Amino acid sequence: MLHKIISRTLPYFPPKLIWQFSKSYIAGETSQDAINASKALNRENIMVTLDILGEFIKTMSQAAKNRYAYLTLIRTIEAAGINANYSLKPTMFGLLIDKKICFEYIRELTAEAASHGNFIRIDMENSPCVDDSIDIFRRLKREFPQNIGLVLQAYLKRTLNDLESMLDLRRDDAALNFRLVKGIYVEPADIAYKDYHEINDHFLKDLEFMLKNKIDAAIATHDTPLIQGALHLIDKYQVPKEHYEFQMLYGVTPKKRRELVKNGHRMRVYVPFGEQWFGYSTRRLKENPAMVKHIIKALFYK
Ligand code: FAD
């Protein structure tokens, strides 16, 4: 109950306090911070996917700024020789304001990544964005078969159907590539599973469908039963190392990721950075109410 109240009031917490919590989940505010974090991860034999924070923007001039920031990031990272690819959120480029321009911006960024032989992952946002994000992915997959991937959320009841409906995009020289996650947004019960076990069951069903159909899988979870379930499926379908990778969030369960790397699995860490860290941080806090306790402590026991 207390957690619920705190979650609702989070957006009104002083940013300084939220930053105290956020700094372990965010590489920093600048691209140099992201480069430093990425280099440290690369040294541990861990790849990264870079994400500039900022979403659900209100004006297309913000979308234009975000386009420029990503273009600059891609050029900087490629010049620095970092083992990274890129994740982006369509609402950051105006998905909910002007779909046509949003598509053009994401297309331009994919073309830039493709020119370096690299890859862009379209993150999945809340349910009103799913159809349009799939549509953007479909169009780009035809034009840049090797360079674009999408995220699918196991908590959505539609996900297995979405997987089936995209099989037509498979090509011999370019597998489909999806990151599978539980899903982080608060969704209505008629479209999303709510129960932990139900979500986990569907996560593994979706993953099995992917591996059976030779879809490249980015298995994005910190949940031990899911990691074990995924390892079992990888073994069952004898999936070659280059066709799957585990993914975890920056600052979360570093021990688990090291263990997987030690056992020879590919690992990629999602590294968010940028000035717009407030929305990302409060969502993480809502998702993991245990962390709210630390905020309460910080509030009352200074
Ligand atoms: P959980 O059951 O939530 O967590 C399992 C255990 O992991 C917890 O008990 C705890 O020990 C640890 N843990 C998990 N989260 C935290 C945390 N914040 N702080 C501390 N410990 C934690 N969601 C989307 O909706 N769209 C996306 O595009 C998207 N991209 C993602 C990309 C990556 C690489 C990852 C790892 C996650 C992404 N997510 C995305 C978030 C995802 O949907 C889940 O909300 C998140 O990963 C937590 O789920 P879990 O599978 O780790 O299981």
Q: DSSP for the chain?
A: -HHHHHHHHGGGS-HHHHHHHHTTTS--SSHHHHHHHHHHHHHTT-EEEEEE---S-SSHHHHHHHHHHHHHHHHHHHHHT-SEEEEE-GGGGTTTT-HHHHHHHHHHHHHHHHHTT--EEE---SGGGHHHHHHHHHHHHHH-TTTEEEEEETTBTTHHHHHHHTGGG-BTTB--EEEEE---S---TTTB--SHHHHHHHHHHHHHHHHHTT-EEEEE---HHHHHHHHHHHHHTT--GGGEEEEEETTS-HHHHHHHHHTT--EEEEEEESS-HHHHHHHHHHH-THHHHHHHHHHH--
Question: Quick one: tokens of 112?
Answer: 């830039």
Q: 228, 252, 268, 270: which to mutate for ligand 1, most atoms within 8 A of CB?
A: 252
What's the pTM value of the predicted model, to 2 decimals? 0.93
pLDDT tens string 235-250: 999 999 999 999 999 9
For residue 212, what are the domain limits? 30-273
CB-based contacts of 98-107 (< 8 A; 24+ apart in sequence): 98/60, 98/63, 99/132, 101/60, 101/63, 102/63, 102/136, 103/136, 103/139, 105/63, 105/64, 105/66, 105/67, 106/136, 106/140, 107/139, 107/140, 107/143
Tell me the average pLDDT across 133-140: 98
If asked whether residues 129 and 256 sit together in one domain, one would say: yes
- To the question of whether residue 159 is assigned a binding role by annotation, the answer is no
Which ligand 1 atom sits closest to the C-alpha of 223? Answer: 5
| Euclidean distance between CA atoms 241 and 262, whole angstroms | 14
Expressed in angstroms and rounded, the spacing between residue 143 Cα and the centre of ligand 1 is 31
If asked whether residues 282 and 228 sit together in one domain, one would say: no
- To the question of whether residue 142 is assigned a binding role by annotation, the answer is no
If asked whether residues 167 and 62 sit together in one domain, one would say: yes
If asked whether residues 174 and 75 sit together in one domain, one would say: yes
* Catalytic residue of the set 51, 123, 206, 216: 123
Expressed in angstroms and rounded, the spacing between residue 222 Cα and the centre of ligand 1 is 6
CA-nearest residue, atom 1 of ligand 1: 223
Which of 43-47, 49-53, 171-175, 209-213 is predicted with the least confidence, judged by mean pLDDT?
A: 171-175
If asked whether residues 11 and 69 sit together in one domain, one would say: no
Expressed in angstroms and rounded, the spacing between residue 101 Cα and the centre of ligand 1 is 30
Which ligand 1 atom sits closest to the C-alpha of 256? Answer: 7
- To the question of whether residue 238 is assigned a binding role by annotation, the answer is no
Which ligand 1 atom sits closest to the C-alpha of 87? Answer: 28
Q: Residue 174 pairs with which residues in a beta bridge?
A: 171
Q: Residue 142 pairs with which residues in a beta bridge?
A: none
If asked whether residues 60 and 208 sit together in one domain, one would say: yes
Residue environment code for 225-240, b if the CB has 16+ CB neighbours within 10 A, otherwise e: ebbebbeebbeebebe
Return the percentage of the chain with pLDDT > 70, whole number. Answer: 92
If asked whether residues 193 and 136 sit together in one domain, one would say: yes
Which ligand 1 atom sits closest to the C-alpha of 183? Answer: 43
Does the pLDDT at position 295 exceed 60? no
- To the question of whether residue 284 is assigned a binding role by annotation, the answer is yes
If asked whether residues 260 and 301 sit together in one domain, one would say: no
Kindly list the protein residues whose Cβ atom lies closer than 6 A to any atom of ligand 1: 123-124, 151, 153, 179, 181-185, 220-223, 226, 247-249, 252-253, 270, 284, 287-288
- Domains contained in the chain, number: 2
Does the pLDDT at position 11 exceed 90? no
- To the question of whether residue 153 is assigned a binding role by annotation, the answer is yes
The predicted pLDDT at position 167 comes to 97
| Euclidean distance between CA atoms 261 and 259, whole angstroms | 5
If asked whether residues 51 and 7 sit together in one domain, one would say: no
The predicted pLDDT at position 106 comes to 98
If asked whether residues 103 and 127 sit together in one domain, one would say: yes
258 is catalytic: no
If asked whether residues 114 and 135 sit together in one domain, one would say: yes
If asked whether residues 129 and 86 sit together in one domain, one would say: yes
Q: Does this complex have an ipTM over 0.85?
A: yes
Expressed in angstroms and rounded, the spacing between residue 282 Cα and the centre of ligand 1 is 14
* Catalytic residue of the set 67, 121, 179, 268: 179
75 is catalytic: no
